[in-house]
Chains A and B, each alone.
Chain A
Amino acid sequence: VIAAWAPAWPVIAVGASLDEPAATAERGRITAATHVAVEAGVRVGMRVRDAQRLCPRLTVLRADPVQAARLFEPVVCALEQIAVGIEVVRPGLCVLDAAGPSRYFGGEQQAAALLRDAAAEVETDTGPVPIGVGVADGIAAAVLAARTDTIVAPGGSAVFLASFDIGVLAGPELALALRRLGIRTLGQFAALPVGKVGTRFGAEGVRIHRLARGLDARDPAPRHAPADLAVEHVFDPTVPVLEPLVFAAKTLADGLHERLAGLGLVCDRISIEATTADGRVSSRWWRHEGRLTGRAVAERARWQLEAWLTRNPPPQTADTYVGEVEDGAGFARLMLRPDGLRIATGIQGDLLGGEQQLPGTAEAAIEHLQDLLGYTRVTRPVITSGRGPADTAVLVPFGDLDPELRGTGPWPGRIPNPAPAMIPGRPVPVLLLDAHGAAVVVTGRGEIPDPPVLLVLGTGRARVTGFSNPWPLHERPWEPDGGHRTARLQVTVESGAAYLLGVEAGDWFVIAGYQ
């Protein structure tokens, strides 16, 4: 078995350099460290505080397994160019069967060298990826051999493993128990009779015992290379304007969604990549979560390319007329690439069936309206929570993802029930006057020294018949300008109408109306 191991991969993946003492940590424990840090005494599983005591220059980063897995993908693809049947044990470590490559390349040495070169050619943000390649009889021995770039002769795994500390294979609890019994190396452990190990340490103990004797617990399980699901549209002649691109994006996205659905997959992200004839590329990843419609993807293509065109205007050469775009500046290719594929498990509907969903007729009408009015103007309300009148329901375009929830509250200062029925787009300035004709003042303690008598709304004047105690609202007090400090007040006027008023810096305005 060949094991290819990129040391400290999780640290590289979060953007640290291998030449610096850096480590990743999760829940206060070190999960990976660069060799500089390891030399200083930092060990995996150590508490971050202990590691920092040993190595004060240590940069501790937050572990990001998803990112590590994503960045490891190109490395695995490069290795697959050399040999097939690669199993990714975890990001940074993969194993493969040695028999094929070593016979094909004329020896284990040669195969290991080729794998090392292939990995080094992968471009990453932090330079070439150094990998260690180890060859041994079993996975455990090969992985340990990869640390030192060793090739263990067939049948020599048990001898090779014998000198390692018991902690490299056994979990912390088992290792501690064994150390207390005076067993410090794998060799000492392997010398114990298997029956006694089974009686004392159970199945887990027997598994470690097998590994320590150089026997394999299992064979490598090769991964299946992901099928290339990217879809592409080539424009010939090239198109200098956006509309055909957006249209093509919708067709491509619909086709892609259909293909994914046929495979029973959904994707977490989707990349929209547009290339001009002269080779300039606009590429971006968008969150998908398997819930965007084709139209929503097309709308994202429009957002991305509109912004890209503003930042990168078509190059003007001396001999083109003003307003005429050169051929090379038009878009030649549009590609959609799904990423983060996972098995479609469906979306859980409401408990009592599909009653909550819109029927097909309504969905067809919504699609039609989005064509007619624009994607963002046909929306569905999503009930959220918050302090303002507009925070209780967010309008999301159909086909788009739900917004991130803002937490559950309790939202001190929120608007009490019943919900106001009239919410103007922006607060309407009004005058709230007391008996002397001066604007009503709310003190810092939320008291009104002079009660309101008159509400002047535009040209209308209405006598105030009732008002609540004002309640203060202090949002974002951590911001440098002191945040947003207002007070709210309900008033009723003699016509029977009621308003929710707000006051900020002495100015009154209508936040919502109860009518």
Chain B
Amino acid sequence: MATIAPMFDNRLKLRSGSGSSGEARLAGPGALDGLTRGVAGARARRAPGLAVPVALGELLPDGLQRGAVTGLDGDRYLAAGLVGAAIRQAGSAALVGVDDLGTAAVVAAGAAPARLVVVRSDAPTWARAVEVLIGAVEVVLVRPPGPVADAVARRITARLRRTAPVATALIVAGGAFPAPVRLRVAAAQWSGLEIGHGLLEARRVSVVAERRDGSSRAVQVYLPGVDGAVVPAWPAEAAPSDELAARRRRAA
């Protein structure tokens, strides 16, 4: 927007001016200045992050930051949704030490199985495996097997910031790894299952993003939605499926 606004202003000036061609030519260079300033500003900004699910766009407006850590809680659908959205179009992802994460859920969230690397690491090797993968794949998802020592966390963060052929976004699930933004799932509620009938359909959750400065934001999403992807949810009272469920419950 910053690029376009000054240009627009100049055009307005041009139209509302006396209309002589000389003045219009004089106004020309000004418009160009605004344009170049806009480009320089865009360059100064950080490289664009990796795609995140549209429903979580409010929480991560810049996308999944390359060269930085994103913290998660232990929720596996959240991890699968972020990895799936980040490599839906291109790029590859490595899953380190998440042996009990269902690969089918990651694939349902949008990841192509051919671009996934599953690494079964253990307590002594996970940090080394993450260091090798940083700079080689777009996304690394890791669940540390225990508390992470400060020195290890610092080493990994430093490695992330280094220039490499591929700028990697690191997602750390669980634990207290230092991260500028941390996502967690609250108030999870599955729909579709009743007393003795139905099957699980979708899970309505509130995803909360907590930043280092103490600010936090929450959005309501279906995680996973009926097709396995992350779908935005309406406020509770307007959700048709929930209302249907409530009516069924009243009848029962």
Contact = CB atoms under 8 A, between A and B. Distances in A.
Interface of A: 350, 355-359, 361-362, 364-366, 368-369, 372-373, 377-383, 389, 392-393, 395, 398, 416-425, 448, 451, 466-469, 490-492, 495-498, 512-515
B189 A496 contact: yes
A418 B200 contact: yes
A515 B188 contact: yes
Given A373-B129, A378-B119, 19 more contacts: A357-B115, A359-B92, A361-B166, A369-B132, A373-B120, A378-B117, A380-B114, A395-B118, A416-B199, A418-B105, A418-B226, A418-B227, A421-B101, A421-B102, A423-B102, A424-B100, A469-B197, A496-B188, A514-B200
Task: Give me the 3 closest cross-chain CB pairs, A-B, nearest first.
Answer: A365-B136, A496-B188, A421-B76
8 contacts: A362-B92, A369-B129, A389-B102, A423-B102, A466-B194, A468-B193, A498-B190, A514-B190
A468 B117 contact: no
A492 to B, nearest CB: 5
Contacts of B227: 417-418
Nearest to B187: A496
B114 A422 contact: no
B228 A497 contact: no
Nearest to A498: B190
- The B contact surface, by secondary structure, is mixed
Interface in B68-107: 75-77, 79-80, 90, 92, 99-105, 107
A382 B113 contact: yes
Contacts of B224: 418, 421
A373 B107 CA distance: 25
Contacts of B125: 372-373
Given A417-B108, A497-B188, A372 B114 contact: no
Contacts of A490: 193, 199-200
B76 A466 contact: no
B112 interface: yes
Contacts of B105: 418-421
B128 interface: yes
B48 interface: no
B238 to A, nearest CB: 20
Contacts of B101: 421-423
Contact of A372 (B132, B189, B228): B132
Contacts of B64: none
B202 interface: yes
Name the residue among A364, A419, A467 with the largest chain B CB count within 10 angstroms: A419
Contacts of B114: 350, 356-358, 380
Contact of A467 (B104, B196, B228): B196
A470 to B, nearest CB: 10
Nearest to B101: A421
B181 interface: no
Contacts of B228: 417-419
B165 to A, nearest CB: 5
Contact of A356 (B112, B137, B189, B193): B112
Contacts of A355: 90
Interface residues of B, number: 57
Name the residue among A373, A467, A495 with the largest chain B CB count within 10 angstroms: A373
Contact of A379 (B120, B165, B190, B198): B120
Given A356-B114, A418-B105, A421-B101, A373 B121 contact: yes
Contacts, number: 175
A363 to B, nearest CB: 9
A468 to B, nearest CB: 5
A450 to B, nearest CB: 11
B203 interface: yes
A515 B165 contact: no
Name the residue among B135, B196, B198 with the largest chain A CB count within 10 angstroms: B196
Contacts of A492: 190, 193, 200
A448 to B, nearest CB: 7
Contact of B198 (A398, A423, A448, A468): A468
B195 A369 contact: no
A425 B205 CA distance: 26
Contacts of A358: 92, 114-115, 117
Contacts of B200: 416, 418, 468, 490, 492, 498, 514
Interface in B127-149: 128-129, 132-133, 135-137
B226 to A, nearest CB: 7
Contacts of B104: 383, 389, 392-393, 419-420
Given A377-B120, A514-B203, A422 B128 contact: no
A423 B190 CA distance: 18
A362 B114 CA distance: 12
Contacts of A381: 103, 107, 113, 116, 118
B128 A466 contact: no
B203 A420 contact: no
Nearest to A365: B136
A416 B202 CA distance: 12
A422 B102 contact: yes
A362 B75 contact: no
B116 A498 contact: no
A171 B224 CA distance: 64
Given A357-B114, A381-B107, A373 B203 contact: no
A383 B117 contact: no
Name the residue among B103, B197, B205 with the largest chain A CB count within 10 angstroms: B103
A420 B76 CA distance: 9
A361 B225 CA distance: 34
B196 A451 contact: yes
A497 B188 CA distance: 7
A419 B190 contact: no
A488 to B, nearest CB: 11
A398 B195 CA distance: 45
A498 B77 CA distance: 12
Name the residue among B119, B166, B189 with the largest chain A CB count within 10 angstroms: B119
Contact of B132 (A368, A395, A515): A368
B136 A466 contact: no
A7 to B, nearest CB: 51
Nearest to A355: B90
Contacts of A416: 199-200
A149 to B, nearest CB: 59
B107 A393 contact: yes
Nearest to B225: A418
A377 B109 CA distance: 24
B117 A366 contact: yes
Contact of B113 (A362, A393, A417, A512): A393
Nearest to A415: B104
